[in-house]
Amino acid sequence: MAKAGSLRGDAAALRNALEELNEVKALRYVLLERVDRIRLALFSFTLGTNRLAENPDENFTEWEEGRAFGPLAELRWSKLGEGNYHICCLSDGYGVFPSGMSGSEVELSQHCRAEQEHYLWGVFEDDSKAWYDERIPQFLAYPLEVPRGRGRMRVVLRTVEYLRLTVAKDGTNSEDRFVRWQDLTLKEA
Tell me the C-alpha to C-alpha distance, in Å, between residue 160 and each of 26, 27, 77, 122: 15, 15, 18, 22
The pLDDT score that the predictor gives to residue 154 is: 93
The pLDDT score that the predictor gives to residue 55 is: 65
**45 beta partners:** 52
Three-state DSSP class for 99?
A: helix
- Residue 28 near residue 116 (C-beta atoms within 8 A): no
The pLDDT score that the predictor gives to residue 115 is: 95
C-alpha 20: how far from chain center: 15
Which of 103, 106, 105, 101 is CA-nearest to residue 17?
101
The pLDDT score that the predictor gives to residue 78 is: 96
Q: Domain residue spans in the chain?
A: 3-107, 112-188
CA atoms within 13 A on the CB side of 147: 6
What are the tens digits of pLDDT across the range 32-54? 999 988 888 888 877 776 666 66
For each successive 10 residues of the chain (189 residues), what is the average pLDDT? 90 90 90 90 76 68 92 94 90 83 83 94 81 87 84 92 90 90 92
Residue 172 phi/psi, 5° resolution? -80, 150
